[in-house]
Structure 1
Amino acid sequence: MMEWLLIILTLLLSLTSLASVFRRDEWWIRVFDFPRLQLSVLILAALFLSLWALTFDLWWHYLLLVVLLGNLIFQGIRIYPYTILAPIQVKKLLDEPNDSAISILVSNVLTPNRSVHLLLKHIEAYDPDIVLTLESDQWWQDQLAVLKDRYPFQVNVPKDNLYGMHLFSKLELVEHQVLNQVTEDIPSIEAIVKLHSGKKVKIYCLHPEPPSPTESYTSTDRDAEILLTGKKVINQPYPCLVFGDLNDVAWSKTTRLFQKISQLLDPRRGRGFFSTFHAKYPLLRWPLDHLFHSADFKLIQIKRLSGIGSDHFPLYSHLQLTESLQETPNADHKEKKQAKAKILKADPIRKEID
């Protein structure tokens, strides 16, 4: 009985690993990109169970062990860059921050959530230069009107479809626009921010539609919006920041391709997962909220904040714009073609893909 249980468990775990290798966009395949840490724990448990339960007097006992080890190595390779054992990708600022620093708080507030006081408490404590709220509707806009004096520059996009967003900034927004890049009613915000030093930074605020049985059957539109933003970034003359709830994990094919296309860095690499979802289920958490930046920023602080009643934790990042550049990821010709194909597959509203 135990042997059959181990065979079935090994087959199921192997299928989850294989599913994430396939270049298919259906949600029931892409969902296995998310719980790699949880799957690694299950594989490890199956390994220990095999060592305890099997006698290893049959050849397939050894095969079972090899298959489980292969699965563990496969999952481990994906999540390793986001552990403290891996090299950091973004250098820590060793000097005192100056007037070219910028701090950002990203929070998916969950539309029906009414604990606005908890978000305001974080804003008071961390005093970020920029606050981005996601899933914020007209009720949230009304409640956050108290921020008007502290954050005179605002972009309000209230929506009742779980894709509203509000941008609050102490720093001058030299220009901004609200875009529907891939599909109607899924907005994004682009703006040029002037730092206290007078230097300008381009920011991109995203919240693409996730692949799920209740929202989008495939990840096609999500992938296209992420990659389309990456192609925009690489042509910018300004330092760039991309942040928001990307509804994708840091180690997915799409996010890794986005980093190569955009040449943006991830301050979490070598520092931890900073898992922001799901706030209510500790055993089912992964990093959905992100901040990526160009190579001329160094990290002052990145922190997952305590819950605000939402299914997401807020993410706080503090960066310093510097004169020195860091090593960046780069896309080869094949990866650029792959990104273009993914964007075209979605047939985006904005076809800025060259």
Structure 2
Amino acid sequence: MMASAAYAVLFVLAVLLVFLTALPRLHSQAWWVRVWDFPRPQIAGLLALTLAGLAALGDPGRWAHLGILASGGLALAAQLRRIWPFTPLHAVQAQPAARCAAGQKLTLLTANLKLRNSGAERLLEQVRRTNPDVVFVVELDASWADALEPLKRDYPHHLVHPRADFWGMAIYARLPLVDPGVQFLLESYVPSIRTGLRLPSGAVVAFHGVHPKPPTLFGHGTVQRDAELLLASRAVGCGPRPAVLAGDLNAVAWSRETELFMREGGLMDPRIGRGLFSTFPAGWPWFLRWPVDHVFFSGEFRLLRLARLPDIGSDHLPLYAELCLDPDGPQTQPVPSRSRAAARVIAAGRGEAGTPP
């Protein structure tokens, strides 16, 4: 009797997991559809355990049993296909650097501070420990700006844009900033930062710092998020190279929207072939987190190091990257392209935000 009840529970769970696997295939940007892009590793793990339980408890001769095993197997394969590039089993996209010429190295720390987090000392400690050339932070309000004043001693070049909501941001750099500015890509409410960074060698790197609007429960979907990301990536693709784009994108690395964003800007993801480096939610166990904080870059860079840093009291973990500009010549990279799919998403985002085309 208990075995029958356990089988029934597992059967229903398998049906639900198959449904949640299929749901993101809909061409919809509603939050209740797109949210299932996030927990793909967790769904894959649950599917594997559920199918193993069904196989152990069930009757192989029953058509329903065979059908759920087959559909569950297909769903598991679909989930693993999305996650597989972000494992060491896949070839790396951003090639490693064996060495780096003097003056060509760029190190970056990006962090979502969490608006009501008052523990600045832990972030400052991570900055002291990693000693990056550039610190980019989001969710910066006036109190956070005051708490980070000590950074200005070692990072004399900065652009600080505090806000009382979730959209404040700042860049602190020991490298000179070239034409820094706060921009509003989609609407006048959500800012981004764009600036040049002059390396010691004299080369100028274009930097784009972003934090698009996330989907909200019983609110808007991912239309504005996706449109802003595509506008940012187009700015990278059409702007000066080399380029780096970083921040809390409110999108996971394996989503089709992120893939489109990378193609539009000709950007590479250092996670591919290396691991998930999941950063959110920081307070959850590692196997329940998602990679939503990112550092992307154009093909003129090679990767020296990528690391997820310890907890700073935020709901996000910081991400740290060491890049080397063109040590042996440009590597193979995605070619920037302007697709019809991207144009449709941008038009939809502008329509929802009430901005002209």
Superposition TM-score tier, normalisation by shorter sequence: over 0.9
Give, in angstroms, the shift of residue 238 of structure 1: 2.1
**Matching residue's letter, 2:167:** Y
2:18 — aligned with what? 14
Residues of 2 paired with 1:97 and 1:42: CA distance?
47
Which of 241, 244, 247 is residue 241 of structure 1 equivalent to?
244
- Check conservation: 2:51, 2:72, Cα contact below 8 A: yes
SS of residue in 2 equivalent to 1:193: strand
Residue 104 of structure 2 is matched in structure 1 by: 100
Q: Give RMSD over aligned pairs.
A: 1.6
Q: Distance in 2 between matches of 1:193 and 1:131?
A: 12
1:223 aligns with 2:221: no
Match status 1:57 vs 2:61: yes
Confirm or deny: 8 A CA contact 2:22 2:75 kept in the other structure: no
Question: Where does structure 1 lack aligned partners over 5 or more consecutive residues?
Answer: none
Which residue of structure 1 lines up, in the alignment, with residue 345 of structure 2?
342
Secondary structure of 1:344 counterpart:
helix
How far, CA to CA, are the matches of 1:46 and 1:196 in structure 2? 55
Q: Could you say which residue in structure 1 is the equivalent of 2:206?
A: 202
The residue type paired with residue 341 of structure 2 is: Q
Give the counterpart letter for 2:129 in structure 1: A
1:42 aligns with 2:46: yes
Conserved? CA contact 1:28–1:212, under 8 Å: no
Structure 1 residue 25 and structure 2 residue 29: aligned?
Answer: yes
- The partner residue of 2:258 within 231, 255, 258 is 255
What's 1:325 paired with?
Answer: 330
- Which amino acid in 1 is paired with 2:332? E
* Aligned equivalents of 1:108, 1:293: Cα separation in 2: 19
Say whether 1:78 aligns with 2:82.
Answer: yes
Match of 1:192 among 193, 196, 202: 196
Structure 1 position 220, deviation (Å): 0.4
- Structure 1 stretch displaced more, 290-299 or 94-103: 94-103
Question: Which segments of 5 or more consecutive residues in structure 2 lack a partner in the other structure?
Answer: none
- The size of the alignment, in residue pairs, is 349
Q: 1:98–1:320: 8 Å Cα contact kept in structure 2?
A: no
Length-normalised TM-score, structure 1: 0.95
Partner AA of 1:103 in structure 2: T
Taking a change above 3 Å as real, the CA distance of residues 317 and 229 of structure 1, as seen in their structure-2 partners, is same
SS at 1:106's partner residue? strand
Secondary structure of residue in 1 paired with 2:153: coil
Spell out, residue by residue over 1:172-194, the C-alpha distance to the aligned partner (whole angstroms, 9 max, x if none).
Answer: 00111101211332110000111
Q: Is the CA contact 1:181–1:349 (under 8 Å) kept in the aligned structure 2?
A: no
1:151 paired residue number: 155
Alpha carbons 1:3, 1:54 under 8 Å: kept: yes
Aligned equivalents of 1:327, 1:27: Cα separation in 2: 35
